[in-house]
Every structure is written in C-alpha cells, then in structure tokens.
Amino acid sequence: MEQAAFDRLRLELSVNAKNGVDFIVSATVVWLLLGYIWTLPYSAYNRSVLTFMAEASRSRWRLPCPKSSRPAGSLRAIRSKAYAIMAGVISVGALGLGLTLPAEQVHMVPFAMAGALAVLAILLLSAWRTNSRA
C-alpha cells in the first residue's frame, strides 16, 4: 500500500473513531470515580477494596458498537500530537504528584488524571472536527 493511500485510511479511521474520544471520556469517568472513592471517610483498606470493586466491575463494561468499530481498536492508527503531549504530561504529572503529595491528599492523583484526560478529550475532539472537515 502506498503512503498516500495509507494516510487516507488512517485519517478515515481517525474520523470514524472520533480520535478515540469515547474511550478517553469513559476513562475520565472511571478516574473521577476512583478519586471520589479515595475521599470517602473509610480506612485505607476499605477504600482499596472499593477501588478493586470499581475496577473489577469496569472490566465487564461493553461498548454498544461492533468490535470492528471500537475506538480502542483503532487507537494505534490515530496519529495525534495531543496523544503524544498528554502521555508525557499524564505520566510525569502522576509521578510528581505521587512523590510530593502527603498521604492525606493522595486522592488528588486520580482527580489530576481525570483533568488531564478531559483536556485530552477536548484536544482530540478539536482535532476530530478539523479532520472530519478535510
């Protein structure tokens, strides 16, 4: 396949999958839930159990679309500077917060993740709008 045809296919996949925005928004909701769990006035053990239960229940979620059109399946085909930039921001930011926050404020890490993912979703939606017009 020649490069121009491959780039057209990549753009078409990106537009059809909305740059994976659905996937990113669902991840944002999960991180908000985890942050909320860690603000509850329970012991660290009970919050850990609730976190595990939230993650275990998430593993059974199903997207209402066929496998071939799921956003996560085509993320490798999507080229976006937003993914590259936010990957660094998320990983370095989470590490920095985890190392510097006191134990009583550890719940800020999932909220920061949710905020970064929300910014990523906005950037991807903007890129999708630009690509869908092309």
pLDDT tens, position by position, 51-109: 888 777 665 555 555 555 554 444 455 567 888 889 899 999 999 999 999 988 988 99
What pTM value is reported for the model?
0.71
- 53 assigned to some structural domain: yes
The residue segments making up the domain with residue 105 are 18-62+79-133
Q: Is residue 52 part of a domain?
A: yes
97 burial (CB, 10 Å; 0-12 / 13-18 / 19+) is middle
Task: Tell me the three state secondary structure of residue 125.
Answer: helix
Do the domain assignments include residue 13? Answer: no
CB 15 within 8 Å of CB 68: no
Q: Is residue 6 part of a domain?
A: no
What total of structural domains would you count in the chain? 1
Residue 113 lies in a domain: yes
- Model pLDDT, residue 13: 64
Phi and psi torsions of 74, nearest 5°: -110, 10
In the prediction, which pLDDT does 16 show? 65
- Looking at residue 28, its pLDDT comes to 92
**What's the confidence (pLDDT) of residue 84?**
85
- H or E segment at 38? none
Rg, Å, the chain Cα set = 18
Alpha carbon distance 120, 82 (integer Å): 6
pLDDT number for residue 94: 93
